[in-house]
Amino acid sequence: MGKKKKSTSSAGWSGDPSELLRVGPDFDLASFDRAGTPGWEGDKDAGEQFMAQRGEELSDLQERLFADGRSGGTRSVLLLLQGIDTAGKGGIVRHVIGMVDPQGVALASFGVPTAEEREHHHLWRIRKELPEPGKIGVFDRSHYEQVLVVKVDELEPADVNETRYDECVEFDRTIVESGTTLIKVAMMVSHAEQGERLQERLERPDKWWKYNPGDVDVREEWDDYQAAYAEMLARTSVPEAPWYVIPADRKWYARLAVTELLHGALTDLDLGWPAADFDPKVELERLAGTSRA
Ligand code: AMP
Ligand code: MG
C-alpha cells in the first residue's frame, strides 16, 4: 500500500465511465444495451487485469480516506446499488468492495421493512446507515425501493408514492451537502440474462440459498419494473446526485465500471496523508532511548 502512486492514467478506458454511464435528460432505458461495454476497448482478460491494478490504487485511496476521517476530516463516500435480483449487486460488494480494507467499509442491505421499520418514515432506516466520516458506505438496495417495489406492488397509495421521487432527491442532496460523495448505481441486466442466472440458481445446490420463489414473481412483473426504473432514472438523476446505469450482462464489465467510478470519486477527494500531531524526530529519539542492549 502507498508504494505505487503513478498509473492513475485511464489506459484501457477510451472514455470516462462517469461521463458515459451518467444518466442525462436524453437517457433511454428501453434501448440501453445491457451487454455493452461502454468506454472499454479490451476484452474480459484485459478488464480483469486492469481491475486488479485499480484495486491496489483503490486500497491506497481508501486508506487515505480512513486516515482523514480519523484526523477530523468530514468526507465519506456512499456507493448506492440498485438492480433487480441477479443484476449482480452482491458481486459488486464481493469483488469491488472486497478489494479494500473491510475496516473502512460500512455495508447496509435493505430488504422488506421489519415491523419496527414500518412504524417509521421510510427514510428512518436509511438515515441510520449513512457512512461516518472516513468510511465507504455501501447500500445494497436503498430508499429508491420506495419508487420501485413499493410502486410496482402498490404498497402505498399512488398519490403518496408520487411524492417519493422529490423526497428521495431532497434526501440525496442532504447526503451530498454533509460531505459524502454519493455514487448512485443502477445495474441493468437483460431479460434473457436474468432468466439464465435464475435458472443457474435453481440448478445448482450451492446457489439455492440465493433463490427466493418471489424472484419469479418479480420477473413476471418485468415490464412494470422496467417502467419503474425508467421513471426513477428520469426523475431522480440530478446534476448533484446523478445515476449511473451499468450494463450488467457481462459481470466483468459491471465490476470494472463500478471500480472505475469509485476510483474516480476517491481520486477527486484529493486526500493527502494527515499531518502528525507529534514530532516524529522527537519520537524517534525517544524510541532509540528504549534500547536495552
Ligand atoms: P434481496 O436483496 O434478494 O435480499 O431481497 C430483498 C427484498 O426486499 C427485495 O425483494 C426487495 O424488493 C425488498 N424490499 C426492499 N426494500 C423494500 C421496501 N421498502 N418495501 C418493500 N420491499 C422492499
Ligand atoms: Mg434476492
Q: What is the DSSP string of 37-55?
A: -TTB-S-HHHHHHHHHHHH
Distance 86 CA to ligand 2 centre (A): 7
The string of pLDDT tens digits covering residues 47-70 is: 999 999 999 999 999 999 999 999
Could you tell me if the CB of 202 is within 6 A of ligand 1? no
The string of pLDDT tens digits covering residues 1-20 is: 344 444 444 459 999 999 99
Count of CB atoms situated within 10 Å of the CB of 102: 9
The continuous run of DSSP H or E covering 287 comes out as helix 280-288
Domains contained in the chain, CATH given: 17-288 (3.40.50.300)
Instruction: Find out whether 144 and 231 touch, Cβ atoms under 8 Å.
Output: no
The string of pLDDT tens digits covering residues 153-188 is: 999 999 999 999 999 999 999 999 999 999 999 999
Q: Which three cell numbers stand for residue 121?
A: 418514515
Ligand nearest to the CA of 83: 1
3-state class (DSSP) for residue 226: helix
Question: How much is the average pLDDT of 70-95?
Answer: 97
Q: What confidence score (pLDDT) does residue 293 get?
A: 67
- 217 HSE (CA, 13 A, CB side): 6
Instruction: Find out whether 244 and 261 touch, Cβ atoms under 8 Å.
Output: yes
Question: How much is the average pLDDT of 196-218?
Answer: 95
β-strands 243-247, 136-140: how paired?
unpaired
Distance 215 CA to ligand 2 centre (A): 7
Q: What confidence score (pLDDT) does residue 5 get?
A: 40
3-state class (DSSP) for residue 136: strand
pLDDT band at 292 (very low <50, low <70, confident <90, very high): confident
Spatial strand order of the sheet with 243-247 comes to 105-109, 136-140, 76-82, 180-188, 243-247
Taking CA atoms only, the protein residue closest to ligand 1 atom 22 is 112
Distance 114 CA to ligand 2 centre (A): 16
Could you tell me if the CB of 85 is within 6 A of ligand 1? yes
Q: What confidence score (pLDDT) does residue 8 get?
A: 42
The radius of gyration of the chain from alpha carbons, rounded to an integer in Å, stands at: 21
Work out which ligand 1 atom sits closest to the CA atom of 89. Answer: 2
Question: How much is the average pLDDT of 81-98?
Answer: 97
Ligand nearest to the CA of 198: 2
Say how far residue 91 (Cα) sits from the centre of its chain: 11
Could you tell me if the CB of 145 is within 6 A of ligand 1? yes
Distance 125 CA to ligand 1 centre (A): 13
Distance 207 CA to ligand 2 centre (A): 11
Q: Which three cell numbers stand for residue 169?
A: 432527491
Q: What confidence score (pLDDT) does residue 148 get?
A: 98
Say how far residue 22 (Cα) sits from the centre of its chain: 14
Angle at 230 between CA 258 and CA 228, to 5 degrees: 110
Q: For the chain, where are the E strands, in sequence order?
A: 76-82, 105-109, 136-140, 180-188, 243-247
Q: What confidence score (pLDDT) does residue 3 get?
A: 40
The string of pLDDT tens digits covering residues 242-256 is: 999 999 999 999 999
CA dihedral 66, 68, 70, 73 (to 10 degrees): -130
Instruction: Find out whether 182 and 260 touch, Cβ atoms under 8 Å.
Output: no
Question: How much is the average pLDDT of 83-94?
Answer: 97
Q: Which three cell numbers stand for residue 27?
A: 437517457
Question: How much is the average pLDDT of 101-123?
Answer: 98
Taking CA atoms only, the protein residue closest to ligand 1 atom 12 is 149
Tell me the C-alpha distance between 286 and 160, whole Å.
66
Taking CA atoms only, the protein residue closest to ligand 1 atom 18 is 112
**258 Cβ neighbours under 8 A, 6+ residues apart:** 79, 92, 96, 185, 246
Q: What confidence score (pLDDT) does residue 132 get?
A: 98
Ligand 1 pocket, mutate which of 141, 153, 208, 221 (most atoms under 8 A from CB): 141
